[in-house]
A and B are shown apart, each in its own frame.
Chain A
């Protein structure tokens, strides 16, 4: 419900919800530090304009070689979409990496 009392269904704004939280959090950090510090904010959900409020996460990846490859695709795609500050878990959020995967994932990071 907006401040004017308008009611919007979730279906219309679902993909922008995360970005609305990002904006409020970013402004909260500016308020806390009286605008004297660059805020650091990470969000897992994002939308057009999210780049104005900090960095984004590519989501929960796995400790697998194919996810190393995917992470490059995802971050480059985000980059050309205007979201230039983005990252992903190294060496994978889920699973236990073998030694060579561990090293290569860190090298890429």
Chain B
């Protein structure tokens, strides 16, 4: 995006492959210039301009890429988020302490540690028993506060994990004559699920290009699936660059 008293302009380089951007500022008689290099995909970019009107330029960009919805009111407040192994008891205590000491807090966050072995979609029952979670929800609801809970795109490759097990069953299933279900991203041979290392150990990654995978993922947030959660819970998609440990994500 460029700005001068006479002109506002921008370039929207729409490419999801690896991309390098070079910005060269005016120097030694040369004008400011920039260069974009992407590894692949169709060449697609938009040049936007408005005469001395940055607001109009923003409107053009929003018309192209979409407007943001209003955020929920509670999300504009103070969020308490700490990466640590916590428990329902501890959150109840914190909830009480924040009120007691008059420190305004609006949302309690659960990083991936809420789940046993990072199996997102289920509380670790040792630290979050069903009764304790219900009590925690009631207390936090009573205080007018909310939760946000992590759901990352890597799924632990373990037969003990319902999402992994169900996903494998649906992998490659024909939805109808023309549509195929694919829950997990495949390896370069395209015959089996790609396995890599994540925070959860050996993992597979949800294939969000596939409608069946998206549909399955959407149902994860229903209280009948993600037990203990309800309308009070927002979602946090972390590590979705996606993070693959020990190696860069394989490009194939």
Residues of chain A with a CB closer than 8 A to B220's CB: 28
Per-residue CB contact flags for chain A residues 16-49 toward chain B (1 = under 8 Å, else 0) read: 1110111111011101110001111111110111
Residue B250 lies at the interface, judged by CB distance under 8 Å to chain A: yes
- Are A21 and B153 within 8 A (Cβ)? yes
Does the CB pair A12–B16 fall under 8 Å? Answer: yes
Cross-chain contact of A25 among B68, B74, B235, B251 (Cβ < 8 A): B235
Q: Is A61 an interface residue (CB 8 A)?
A: no
Query: How many Å from the CB of B217 to the closest CB on chain A?
Result: 5
- B248 smallest CB distance to A (angstroms): 10
Task: Knowing A33-B231, A82-B61, say if A44 contacts B221 (CB, 8 Å).
Answer: no
Contacts A21-B240, A28-B220, A55-B71; A80 near B1 (Cβ below 8 A): yes
**Cβ-defined contact, B185 with A10, below 8 A:** yes
Closest to B72 in A: A38
A1-19 residues with Cβ-Cβ distance < 8 A to B are 1-5, 7-18
Residues of A within 8 A of B61 (CB): 81-82
Q: Which residue of B lies closest to A80 (CB)?
A: B1
* A101 is an interface residue with CB less than 8 A from chain B: no
Taken residue by residue from 163 to 203, chain B's Cβ proximity to chain A (1 for < 8 Å, 0 otherwise) reads as 00000000000010011111001100010000000000000
Chain A residues within an 8 Å CB radius of B65 = 48-49, 51, 82
Size class of the contact patch on chain A: 35 or more
Provided the pairs A18-B241, A21-B237, A28-B219 are in contact, do residues A8 and B16 lie with their beta carbons within 8 angstroms?
no
Chain A contacts of B134 at CB under 8 A? none
Contact yes or no, B235 A29, CB < 8 A: yes
- Flag whether B214 is at the interface (Cβ < 8 A): yes
Q: How far is the CA of A21 from the CA of B68 in the complex (A)?
A: 17
Min C-beta distance of B10 to chain A, whole Å: 8
A78–chain B nearest beta-carbon distance, Å: 11
Q: Are A20 and B209 in contact (CB under 8 A)?
A: yes
B14 near A: Cβ within 8 Å? yes
State how many angstroms separate the Cβ of A27 from the closest Cβ of chain B. Answer: 5
Contacts of A40 in B (CB 8 A): 71-72, 74-75, 146, 148, 234-235
Do A11 and B18 touch (CB < 8 A)? yes
Assess the B252–A25 pair: CB atoms within 8 A: no
Among A11, A13, A31, A42, which residue has its beta carbon within 8 angstroms of that of B237? A42
Q: Point out the residue from B16, B69, B81, B179 that lies within 8 Å of A13, measured CB to CB.
A: B16
Whether the pair A47, B16 counts as a contact (CB closer than 8 A) is yes
Closest to A43 in B: B237
Closest to B41 in A: A12
Question: Is A18 a contact of B148 with CB atoms below 8 Å?
Answer: no
Nearest 10 interchain pairs by C-beta = A40-B234, A28-B218, A20-B208, A11-B251, A16-B16, A51-B68, A18-B240, A38-B72, A1-B182, A24-B214
Can you report 7 residue pairs joining A to B where beta carbons are below 8 Å apart? A7-B190, A11-B252, A21-B237, A32-B223, A52-B68, A81-B1, A85-B71
